[in-house]
Amino acid sequence: MSAFDYDLVIIGAGPAGLTAGLYAARARLNVLLLEKAVPGGQIIVTDWIENYPGFPEGISGFDLAEKMKIQAEAFGLKIDTAEVHSLALTPDVKEVVLQDKRIKAKSLIIASGASPKKLGIGEDRYMGKGISFCATCDAPFFKEKTVVAVGGGDTAVQEAIYLTKFVKKVYLLHRRDELRATKILQERAFANDKIEILWDTVATGVDGFFGIEGVHVKNVKTGEEKTLKADGCFIWVGTLPNTDFLKDAVDTDAYGFIRTDAKMQTSVSGVFAVGDVRDTPLRQVSTAVGDGAIAAVSAEHYLENIIK
């Protein structure tokens, strides 16, 4: 019996992990993909994706994730539900520690993604009671109500626009005096009469007993503070990498994102990182897919050259 369970283990089943799995399975590697939740990553809660090549009319994030999963499994990819607790990495063996067992692999691809960043305004207390990070999931609960949305990037603006399909009004808070979102999304937001943008403004807290009744805000330039009467608060202010299980196993940047080279190679030989979890200038489905393909091919080349 081989000392190794798999040629390759992939951690995370978002677009990057699924693509890596597809390429690896198609190359006939003995590969296992581990996902602690539902395959698809953050895109499964994205209402509509219109900038992914091949879908000129757009596609829902859930449907795109499902198509990726089906395609990868058609090539023989094995996907197991399990949470990774830690890694034990040496030049020869990549050991993945789960709750009830340890898996030994010759190579490893980390595709664990990232999670929404919190503001510290009561997210833990009011999660599911007015505070949300997902308009697609929770917008129907706020039909004909007023909500606050926080952020100025693509996700914040796109999700604020989506909210207007359900709510009466959206206050969009941005701490600067111009949005960071792409121009086409900005144009749509400016043209939407349900969206009121509050510039140079941050959320400082929320009020409510059973649920949110108001959101405290502050103008960062004037110092003016007030409370917006609102029934919900949606937060999109960036992401944090899902790297708690790494425990310094590979090099990361100051924010915890994994450093890689152009071949997706990390600081440990035979260990690669892809998608939102790595240090990258752009976090989109298309770039995640590209990362996954490169990493799988890099892992294949690595496996061909190591001493067996």
Q: Do residue 38 and residue 110 come from a single domain?
A: yes
Q: Is 134 known to be catalytic?
A: yes
Q: Do residue 219 and residue 252 come from a single domain?
A: no
Annotate 187-209 with b (16+ C-beta within 10 A) or e (fewer): ebbeeeebbebbbebbbebbebe
Say if 1 falls within a structural domain. no
Q: Do residue 128 and residue 103 come from a single domain?
A: no
Q: Which of 47, 80, 92, 137 is catalytic?
A: 137
Q: Which of 5, 47, 63, 138 is catalytic?
A: 138
Q: Do residue 230 and residue 124 come from a single domain?
A: yes
Asked whether the predicted pLDDT for residue 163 surpasses 90, the reply is yes
Say if 280 falls within a structural domain. yes
Asked whether the predicted pLDDT for residue 2 surpasses 70, the reply is no
Asked whether the predicted pLDDT for residue 196 surpasses 90, the reply is yes
For residue 206, what pLDDT band results from cuts at 50, 70 and 90? very high
Q: Do residue 122 and residue 174 come from a single domain?
A: yes
Q: Is 233 known to be catalytic?
A: no
What pLDDT score was predicted for residue 3? 86
Give the residue from 53, 51, 59, 68 showing the smallest Cα distance to 17. Answer: 68
Asked whether the predicted pLDDT for residue 1 surpasses 50, the reply is no
Q: Which of 5, 63, 134, 251 is catalytic?
A: 134
In whole angstroms, give the CA distance from residue 284 to residue 308: 36
Query: Would you say 264 and 288 are in contact if contact means Cβ atoms under 8 Å apart?
Result: no
Please state the rounded mean pLDDT for residues 284-298: 97
Domain that holds residue 231: 118-235
Q: 79 CB contacts (<8 Å, ≥6 apart)?
A: 13, 21, 33, 34, 35, 39, 69, 72, 73
Q: What is the CATH number of the domain that holds 89?
A: 3.50.50.60
For residue 308, what pLDDT band results from cuts at 50, 70 and 90? low
Q: Is 137 known to be catalytic?
A: yes
Q: Do residue 47 and residue 181 come from a single domain?
A: no
Q: Do residue 11 and residue 46 come from a single domain?
A: yes
What pLDDT score was predicted for residue 89? 96
Q: Do residue 130 and residue 174 come from a single domain?
A: yes
Percent of the chain whose pLDDT exceeds 70: 99
**pLDDT per position as a tens digit, 12-70:** 999 999 999 999 999 999 999 999 999 999 888 777 888 899 999 999 999 999 999 99
What pLDDT score was predicted for residue 47? 77
**pLDDT per position as a tens digit, 90-138:** 989 999 999 999 999 999 999 999 988 999 999 989 988 899 998 887 8
Q: Do residue 282 and residue 231 come from a single domain?
A: no
Q: Do residue 122 and residue 228 come from a single domain?
A: yes
Please say which residue of 180, 210, 235 terminates a domain. Answer: 235
Residue corresponding to tokens 């809660």: 45
Please state the rounded mean pLDDT for residues 172-201: 97
In a 13 Å sphere around the CA of 96, the CA atoms on its Cβ side amount to: 26
Query: Average pLDDT over the chain, rounded to whole?
Result: 95
Q: Do residue 107 and residue 122 come from a single domain?
A: no
Please say which residue of 175, 201, 235 terminates a domain. Answer: 235
